[in-house]
Amino acid sequence: MTGPDHLDADRLSAPGGQPVLVVDAAGWRRPKVPIQAVVIGVDREGLLPAVAADDFDLLLTIAPDAPHPWVSDPQPERLADAARANPLAATIAAEVLRLTAERPLAEALRIESLAYSALLGGGEFARWRDGARAEASPFPPEPLAIARDGDRISLTLNDPANRNAISAPMRDALYEALANALDDPSAPDVLLQGAGKCFSTGGLIAEFGSARDLAEAHAVRTLHSCARALDALGGRGTVQLHGACVGSGIEIAAAAHRRTAAADAWFQLPEIRMGLIPGAGGTATIARAIGRHRTLWMLLSAKRIGARRALEWGLIHAIEDRP
């Protein structure tokens, strides 16, 4: 594709009917006119050609163990089909990742939240919600367990019956605990972990789409951002991950400056298949850890990545046995 004008570029979008471009990574340059389509650059020879990474939303190669920002994945059409299935979510995800790549975390979180609220009101999410099962076990009276030992506070997601799904009560309790730690003049270290078989399977499905005022939901989401509070702890904040770490269950954790995981940990971002993008900070926190290209791959593929790959990519800093 060379030199489209503005009217030609309109079709390279979700409303225009072409939400994704799969192109030869070695020979493609981003046009000067703005396009909204997700651009997937492919290296079909495994040669890892020199490219301008900023021209692409995702770079795929058949070469094994590819260096950043490439992803070793020989199936670009599978990712393109995921973008076509939910074109607004996919193109907005790519756009948010591009817009926020160089912005401070707090600004990036606000941009993500605005886009997330917009998609909550969209048809793609409505279709997913209509087919989703929304059952949950009763909430525990204490969804977040808090313990202090000297200058160390342990915060434990404490709803193992629901696989530590992050409900509104759990999120509010976690934000309050993080805010208290930030305000504590003794500057305690903070450890965030999960009870039971996994760290967290992400947002509680039964609560998805329950907000009636999406503008107010955006305001609350940014005001009480657990990711922003965890990041503000700096070197005092550590997360210990194990088992499933899905959606917001890794988006918040990725804001910690020290992230360890058990060997059984795995990570997944399923939001695009739900007609959404991350809403707990993932386009900012995960992208800062592994880069926007690999973050978009996680979103389009919805694949699980294990602890070893997470370590290689920088999503976690160490693999450690649970204490």
Protein fold of 105-319 = 2-enoyl-CoA Hydratase; Chain A, domain 1 (3.90.226)
SS3 258: strand
Between 207 and 39, whose confidence is greater?
39
Whether the per-residue pLDDT at 65 is higher than 60: the answer is yes
Between 211 and 88, whose confidence is greater?
88
How many CB atoms neighbour CB 109 within 10 A? 26
CA distances (Å), 225 to each of 127, 171, 220, in order? 27, 9, 8
pLDDT reported for residue 208:
83
Element (H, E) at 7: helix 6-10
Write down the pTM of the prediction: 0.95
Average the pLDDT over 218-244 and give the result: 97
Range list for CATH 3.90.226.10 in the chain: 105-319
CA 131, CA 108: separation in Å to the nearest integer? 31
Average the pLDDT over 237-265 and give the result: 98
pLDDT reported for residue 3:
61
CA 123, CA 86: separation in Å to the nearest integer? 10
73 token code pair = 């994945």
Q: Are 262 and 216 in contact (CB under 8 A)?
A: no
Q: Residues for the chain: how many in total? A: 323
In which band, very low, low, confident or very high, does the pLDDT at 119 lie, cut at 50, 70 and 90? very high
Look at strands 244-246 and 266-268 and give their pairing: parallel
Q: Are 58 and 79 in contact (CB under 8 A)?
A: yes
Please write the tens of the pLDDT for every residue from 1-19: 456 777 778 999 999 999 9
Between 27 and 165, whose confidence is greater?
165
Strands (E) in 57-208, as ranges, are 58-61, 71-72, 144-149, 152-157, 189-194
Whether the per-residue pLDDT at 253 is higher than 90: the answer is yes
CA 11, CA 161: separation in Å to the nearest integer? 47
Whether the per-residue pLDDT at 57 is higher than 60: the answer is yes
Q: Are 51 and 91 in contact (CB under 8 A)?
A: no
Q: Which residue, 220, 210, 34, is CA-closest to 110?
A: 220
CA 91, CA 71: separation in Å to the nearest integer? 19
CA 195, CA 124: separation in Å to the nearest integer? 33
CA 21, CA 163: separation in Å to the nearest integer? 37
CA 71, CA 296: separation in Å to the nearest integer? 10
Q: What percent of the chain has pLDDT over 90?
A: 88
How many CB atoms neighbour CB 64 within 10 A? 7
Average the pLDDT over 97-113 and give the result: 97
pLDDT reported for residue 135:
72
Q: Which residue, 51, 48, 50, is CA-closest to 61?
A: 48
The residue type of 103 is R
Whether the per-residue pLDDT at 72 is higher than 90: the answer is yes
CA 62, CA 48: separation in Å to the nearest integer? 9
